[in-house]
Structure formats: structure tokens, C-alpha cells
Structure 1
């Protein structure tokens, strides 16, 4: 077998150095499994992968069981599911279907629900499970290259366990961060192997999944600098990262693309008017993830502070930088929603694996056992999580169906676009939440909420939609929050002039188009 067929690495031994430019480690004492590559040659697979991969799949499936226990977990899932239907019906992203996020995850939803049906979100829940397994596998591969087989097991399993260490609606939902993370891990995986074009492409995948995925660029650049890879490698990295993003911009129109994913969110990316709520969310998110990581944190601190028996954390400057950059990314917009903190998981898992590798088998077993018990608590929380908002959304959807026909356009004035998907009704506006038109988000209680804080030009588009495709039913789902319809002069005048209030359900007001307005 040629050296090109199987890239070899030094066996796992204390202090064994990595061999620059070589691939995954394998161990002479273990017979490798084999596969046939595309050229017909036989390539070796380390036997430990045939043991580790099924375990990662099993543990991921168990930790994500709550994901399949309810129709929806949060408004982001409802937003994406509604978007998928609009795109399938001929909608155009960033035009007739809009969002502040890049296109990869909306496309994923469109493709998955188009293939398997859009009455349930199980296809994207399975895709989220696969994304976690891929991320965990890549993290294990990074640890395997750096510290050996035992560390690979630690990294992969820690990745899976930590991925559910937040509020269930943030971890069990199939949303942006879940699909962004494997790209970020792939970027580090490629960079440490001097595959700079691949690192750039993975970086682009992360950014096109969610903008904050770009934080992984900092540890990539550190790896490039440490490797003294030169400007040619930097050019390949840059080309791999920029060309896919530039291609997406050209496909949608550079100005429109830039507006929706960056420049159009100026007022939204602010905590003004939210009081202490963002700070409390930040403390809650960091606190929960710290709790999930606590046994590993104790081991990590023990190794970092130890100066006896030669115990020291292996060199991991890029991982610390990755953790710091990811933490900085959670501060963008100063909203601190819980799912933002998922971005810390890969770096934490790898740092935890490094600590367990140095701490010894007994400490590692205790730390992993404690982490697993904590994970069981988070999984149990997932099954017991409050369903009040979902139940409310179902009641709203049932009422919408009672007052409208299948093809009637509907406007849900609120922050819960899942009502469109649950009701099976078409949105009357490209703005699926009132946030685009009021700047409401993150619990703002007065300041910076209102028509004048909307995205530029939004109310002009909205008035045009109300005139040319009037909704059969308008639901004010604000429920006494400060973006209610009566506080928006343009919408309130339109309601009073053309609609009649027909019902109030759980504080949500339903306005049916008046008979004279139909003629």
C-alpha cells in the first residue's frame, strides 16, 4: 500500500510529536478496517473509528430524543418552516421571503421539507442530529491527531454531551447554530492539516450558515502563522472563504444580500430599551453551559494549575483563541439569546478532552460520568419543558383556520411565525414577524421600538402589501407588549378602516376583513 493511500502518524505516546503534513493517526497494535477509495485502492480506517462512530451516533440520538417530542421548539424553527413553504411556492429569498440570516439553513429546510414533506419537522431534526455527529466526529479527529485515541473519545463524547447543555428550546431545535458548528470544526480540522483551501471553504460554510461563524477565522489565522505556511497558503485560504460568499452575493444581488445579512440590522443589533434582560440572559446562558461543563472545568483547572508530576495542558493556543473568539461572537447585538452560546461547544469539548487526557484515566472516568449525569438532567428537562407558547400557537392556528380558507392570505402581527406553518396559511407579508417593522426583539420595553425604528423602507413595502394583497385575517398576537397594533399608527388606521374584531384568544385579537372592504 502506498504512503499516499494511508497517511500515517506517530503512535499515541507521551510526548510523541505530530509529523507535519501527515494525516490521521493509526496504531500498529490494532488491525485497521479497510475500505476501497474511488481509485479502487484499499485504504485503512483505524479500528477505533469503527467503535467510536457508532457510539457517537447512539449518544447523539439519545441526547436529542426530546427534539422529536414536539412539533416546534422555538420561533426560529417556525420562521424557517414557513420560509421553506414560501420558497417552495416560488418565493425569492431576500425579496418576497426575507430574513436577517444567510441562505444555507433556509435552503436546507427547503430541501429537506421538499423531499420528505412539510407537515412535520422530523427531516430537519434528523439533519440536526447528523450535524451534531459530524461536528463530534471532526472534534474527535482533531483530538486524535494532537493527543491520541483516548483524547479522541473524550472530545467526541464531550461535544455531544455539551451540545444539549442549555435551555431545551435552544439546544433541541434544528436552527442556525446547530448547522453552523460542524463547519467551524471542519475549518480547524483543515487548517491544522495545512489544507488551506478546505479551511476557507469551511469558513465560508460557517458564515453562510450564520454570520458569527466567521469567528473561527482567528484560530485559523493563528494556525497559519504557527505553521509559517506563507502567503500562497493565505491566498488559498482567502479564496476558499471569499468565493462562495461572493457567489451568494452575486446570486441575490450584492446590495440586497449585504443589506439583509449585515447593514440593515443597525437598530436591531442593540440592547437599548431592553434593560437588564440581555444581561440576565447572558448570565443564564453562561451559567447553564458552565454547569454542563463543570466536571470538565474542574479537570481543566486542575491540569492548568498543576506544576507537579509533569502534568501540563498540551499546547492549545488556537483552542483558547477559538473559545475567546466564540465568546466574543455571542456578544454581537448584545442580545445574548441562549442558543448563541452553542458556539462555545467545540472549543470547550476539545479543551476538556486535552485536560482529561493529561489528568489520567480515573479522573477522566469520574469527570465524564458526572458530565453524563448532568446531560441526563438536561435531556429530562427537554421532555418536561414548558409547552405554554406552543399550546398558544396551536390555539391561534386553529382559530385562523376557522376564519379563513386554505388560500386566504393571513397576517400574524407578532413574534411567533410558527402560526403560519401550523395553520397552513400563506403569509400576507414578506415580514414574518413584527420585529422587522418595529425593531422589537430581546425584551425591549419601550425605547427603540416603533415604526420609526423599523428597517429602512419596511413600512413602505408593508403598506403596498396591505393595499395590493390584503390579508383576509389579521391577528394581533402582541399580547400587551409594546409593539401592539394599537401603538403602530399605520397598522391601526388600516385595521379600524377595513377590519372587524371577531375574537380574542389568550389575549390575541383576531380582525376579519369587513364585507365592504372586499368589494
Structure 2
């Protein structure tokens, strides 16, 4: 008698098989959602600022000494490295790095959700995150700037904390913080996970060391006093709400509405689940809350600040879908896809009048100066230096650092006395050492114009003469000695 055939044994998909199927999907979706980032040479002044910083660093500049900004050093270093490898004439290498940053964030979120709620939840989280990740004004969502590069660090911090890897979690928090200070907000949910897992005595020292070593290392590699001043203590005036209340309120409401519209598929299941059941995921709620505080910190509410909310929103929506009927998941993905398409089209077709102005201005600067000449662009568009291929005459790349206009403030707290502490004496010394061949007044009626800045007005009256205008910007050439 023949033995009965053995029944087939079903084998669960291996970890490798799961990621082999999911990674190509996430990679394709990441590339599609980032297509608009490649259709403009530059998206916003932050990219221009970083590009100019990178060129100055490559030519021997020192961060927080001869090259300054109110940001930590990680992203200027990344720009410098990309320029060293690929040249400084294009931001395409940074665009590619931003694609990788978004893909890495999606993969980490998918892995986190899969570990907690299963394979389907992992796929859903990765897809939802990428769909909502461009749900803001394209100049905020598509630019290769701080918030895009914060996200992998914050997601990695949560991924490591979920697995009890406290030293690595601290290092990931440090990476986010060293990209932009608000990236450190993820420390709150990480600390909650440390408490919930019941290992604070052994985990807390590893978490603290993992965070402290990279931060202290960055301070020592740059200039410790300058690092502390520019990243922590020197921004009190910038963070003030006074003087621009209506302006800031309108911006906050506009960007909140944009992200809410992009999250039209995510928010209903979260709200519905809150009404009918406890969703758990306290750490994710804390992540969302701490990110919201980071958005509000400084009282400026720029659109790119809101990118920090997208990762916890995707996780919370996925968790909510676990207790709702399956058709709700289909509706959520469909709605999110439709919203994503709208923002994708906006990114491809949106005009960029300020970029066109900066390009025309850079052409005029290039025509009126020699490659070795220093120039001063008095405005808030440092990309003019980069587009023109000219070095700035000062370490202060925008008028904002010298007048407190930084952040779009349009109220009374704009002027010399509201500048970064100690900036004007340094500014005067640098203009004497590197007297600009051309000064561009790009204020165009803004409250930081020369008529409200006596020191600049006297400089122009004594040493310069008007030689032309470009779209309302006034060009002043240096009067020859004698």
C-alpha cells in the first residue's frame, strides 16, 4: 500500500520576502512624489543659504566663526560633502539625498508598524507616509532642507527605542537635533518608551550617552561657544511672537489647513477610532504632541515645520485602521492618493516668481562684477550669491540676521537694535576688510530697507552710487578711491 501523500506545509513569508516586495513599491512611490523637486534649480531661501554656506566652508570657512546661521552643523556639512563630490553648480545631488531620506523614513515607519500590528500595517504605514509627505506648499515639501533630513533621525530614534536599543536611540535623536534643534522633540516619546519598558536605570545612561557624545563632538569640532550661541542662546529675538501677530496667525492657519487637506484620508479614521475605542500607541501620540510643540516653537509656523507631523500621523492612522472595517483602509489610501496627486500637480506647475527675480538679479550681479569681487546682497534671498557665483562680503548672508526680519517678521521689532547680539561691529569690520564691489538693496519696500537702517544708509551715501535697478532691487557700485 502506498503511503498517503503528505499534506503541503504552508510556510509564512520570510522577512526577506516581505521586504523584497515592499521596498520596490516604497522606492517607486518615493521617486514619484519627489519628481517636482527636480523641476526647479532652487525651491526656497533655505536651500540658497545652505548652498552659499557650503561654498564658504569649502574655501576654508569655519562654522560659527566665519560662516554663521541659527542651525546645527549637520546639513551644512552634508551640502559641503555633496558639493565636494559633485560640484557646487547644482542641487541635484541634494535632491537625490532627500529622496533617500524620505525612503529611509518610510522604511523605518513600516518596520515599526509591522512589528507592532502586522505585515499589512507595515505596508499601509509606509504608503500613507509617502502620500502625505508632500502635502504642503511645494517650496516647503519639495526643498532639500532641514525638516526633510530630520525625519530619518526621528523615525530611527523611535525604531531603536521600540527595540530597547537605547544607545542607538540616543544617537538617532542627536542626529535629528544636529540637523535642526526641533528634531530633539522626539526625545519625549523615546523617554516614554524607556519608562514603559521598565529599564530606566540601565537604559537612561545609554540613551544620554548616545545623545551627548555626537552633540559634544559637533560642538568641539566647530567652536563650542559659537555652537552654543548660534544653536541655543542667540535666538531669543527671533523666537518672539511680538510685532507680527496677525501675519503669523494667518501663516499658521494656512499651513495647518494645507496639511489637514493633505491628511484628509488619515484624520477621519483617527478621529472615529478615538470616539469608539482606545487606540493605545501612547508613544506615537506623544510623538505627535512633541512635534506639534516643535512646529509652534519660535512662533513662525513656516510650512516646512509641519513636515515633522507627517510620520506620527501616518502611524496613528494605521493604528486606527486596525480596529475599523477593511473598507475604511481602502478609502483612506484612495483619498490620500487623490490628495497626493493634487499636491504633485501643484509642485509641477506652481510658478516661482521669487526664483525668477533672484535669477535676474544674479545675472545683473554677474555682469557688473568680476569673479573675484565680493558683493553684498541686502535682502532675504542668499541664493543670489550662489546663482551669481560671487562670494559675500560678510558672514551674515541675509539682512534678517542684522535686523531681525528673519522669519518674515513684519512688525515694529525690525532694525539694527534687534540684530543678533554683536553682529553690527563684526559686519562693519568685514565690510572694511572685504569692501564689496557691488551692493544690492533687495529690500523692495520691506521694513529692513536702508531708510530704516542708518548704518547701511550712511555706507551707501559715502562710498557708493546707484547704477541700476532689477525688479525694484537697487544696485550700487563702489565709488573709486579719491
- TM-score (norm: length of structure 2): 0.96
Q: What do the CA deviations read for 1:67-93 (whole angstroms, capped 9, x no partner)? A: 000110000000001111111111111
Q: What do the CA deviations read for 1:405-433 (whole angstroms, capped 9, x no partner)? A: 11100100000000001001011110000
- Residue of structure 2 aligned with 1:361, choices 308, 326, 343: 326
Deviation at 1:313, TM superposition (A): 5.2
1:59 aligns with 2:41: no
Q: How many residues align?
A: 474
Deviation at 1:314, TM superposition (A): 4.1
User: Retained in 2: the 8 A contact 1:190–1:198?
Assistant: yes
Aligned mates of 2:474, 2:165 — CA distance in 1: 57
Deviation at 1:358, TM superposition (A): 2.5
Aligned to 1:30: 12
- Residue of structure 2 aligned with 1:442, choices 407, 411, 414: 407
Aligned mates of 1:252, 1:152 — CA distance in 2: 40
Deviation at 1:386, TM superposition (A): 2.2
Aligned to 2:396: 431
User: Retained in 2: the 8 A contact 1:277–1:442?
Assistant: no
Q: What do the CA deviations read for 1:210-253 (whole angstroms, capped 9, x no partner)? A: 00011111101110111001312100000001111111112223
Aligned to 2:310: 345
Aligned mates of 2:449, 2:222 — CA distance in 1: 33
1:182 aligns with 2:147: no
Aligned mates of 1:63, 1:285 — CA distance in 2: 19
User: Retained in 2: the 8 A contact 1:30–1:47?
Assistant: no
- Residue of structure 2 aligned with 1:116, choices 86, 90, 101: 86
Aligned to 1:322: 287
Deviation at 1:454, TM superposition (A): 0.6
Aligned mates of 1:508, 1:176 — CA distance in 2: 29
- Residue of structure 1 aligned with 2:137, choices 167, 188, 191: 167
Aligned to 2:341: 376
Give 3-state SS (helix, strand or coil) of 1:266's partner. Answer: coil
Give 3-state SS (helix, strand or coil) of 1:102's partner. Answer: coil
Deviation at 1:441, TM superposition (A): 2.6
| Mapping for residues 63-462 of structure 1, pairs under 5 Å | 63-306=33-276, 312=277, 314-462=279-427
Aligned to 2:7: none
Aligned mates of 2:35, 2:12 — CA distance in 1: 34
Deviation at 1:469, TM superposition (A): 0.9
Aligned to 1:496: 461
User: Retained in 2: the 8 A contact 1:313–1:355?
Assistant: no
User: Retained in 2: the 8 A contact 1:313–1:354?
Assistant: no
4+ residue stretches of structure 1 with deviation over 4 A? none
Structure 1, unmatched stretches of 5+, are 1-27, 33-44, 307-311
1:485 aligns with 2:450: yes
User: Retained in 1: the 8 A contact 2:74–2:178?
Assistant: yes
Q: What do the CA deviations read for 1:298-333 (whole angstroms, capped 9, x no partner)? A: 112222222xxxxx4542000011101100111111
User: Retained in 1: the 8 A contact 2:65–2:223?
Assistant: no
What is the RMSD of the two structures over their aligned residues, measured on CA atoms? 1.3
Deviation at 1:292, TM superposition (A): 1.1
Aligned mates of 2:137, 2:123 — CA distance in 1: 26
Name which of structure 1's ranges 485-494 and 356-365 shifts more when overlaid on structure 2.
Answer: 356-365
Deviation at 1:31, TM superposition (A): 4.2
